[in-house]
Amino acid sequence: MSRDIAAEERWRGSRGRTDVRRLPEKQVRDRAALDALLDAALVAHVAVTEGTQPYVVPLAFARDRDHLLVHGSTASRVFRSLAAGAPSCATVTVVDGIVVARSQFESSMRYRSAMVLGTFVALHGADKERALQVLAARLLPGLEGARPPSEKELRATTMLALPLDEWSLKVSAGDPEDDRADLGRPVWAGVVPLQHTWGEPEPAPDLAPGIEVPPAVTRWPGGRA
């Protein structure tokens, strides 16, 4: 079997880019763990460089099997750059707690954090409409009543997909790791867990009387991080 040396070198190079070097023991290579984080979070921070200036924009997103989906205005500068094939980096982070050590230096956070490198692809036609449905199902789960986009609204929307080809996942889940010399200090150390919960739904001020909160909304707390 002939070897594609160039492809192997590309693979090695790309693997190197997403190898966690700083605290590598926190790297998780399990794709199911990546999916679990992406399916729990609501916001991705997406980076693009224009000239020498990097910009990072927070965007609502959804995972669609092996892609991250984001959508935005066709007038958006960042979306125009990404749709034109600018290299990008997307991060998704959930903070799970504050780690309080006996020194400020060793204090840190519990977190799950993903980084995806690659190039977004603009979706069109049936692919775009399907992606919008995936995004709506993720961000408005169970709320089929909302009106789908009109032709004009579709034209004003750019839908982008980033392949989950080159990614890293870093998970920090430990306890304080103090220097031995600090262990005797008479100060509290531990972890303060941070949980993300939904509040009581607030009806729109102009909601017609008699429309109850749908069961899908009252079920939301179970499905989100």
Ligand X SMILES: Cc1cc2nc3c(=O)[nH]c(=O)nc-3n(C[C@H](O)[C@H](O)[C@H](O)COP(=O)(O)OP(=O)(O)OC[C@H]3O[C@@H](n4cnc5c(N)ncnc54)[C@H](O)[C@@H]3O)c2cc1C
- Give the interface with ligand X as residue ranges (CB under 6 A): 17-18, 20-22, 93, 95, 109, 111, 113-115, 168-170
| Residue 17 vs 196, nearer CB to ligand X | 17
CB of 199 to ligand X, least distance (A): 23
Q: How many CB atoms lie within 10 A of CB 153?
A: 11
Q: How many CB atoms lie within 10 A of CB 37?
A: 20
Tokens of 1: 């079997």
CB of 64 to ligand X, least distance (A): 21
Element at 110 (helix H, strand E)? strand 108-119
**Long-range CB pairs of 66-69, under 8 A, 24+ apart, other chains included:** 66/163, 66/164, 66/165, 67/161, 67/162, 67/163, 67/164, 68/38, 68/44, 68/116, 68/161, 68/162, 68/164, 69/131, 69/134, 69/135, 69/159, 69/160, 69/161
CB of 94 to ligand X, least distance (A): 8
| Residue 113 vs 158, nearer CB to ligand X | 113
**CA 88 to CA 82: how far, in whole Å?**
7
CB of 95 to ligand X, least distance (A): 5
| Residue 193 vs 222, nearer CB to ligand X | 193
The values of phi and psi at residue 170, to 5°, are -120, 130
| Residue 91 vs 157, nearer CB to ligand X | 91
CB of 166 to ligand X, least distance (A): 8
| Residue 79 vs 167, nearer CB to ligand X | 167
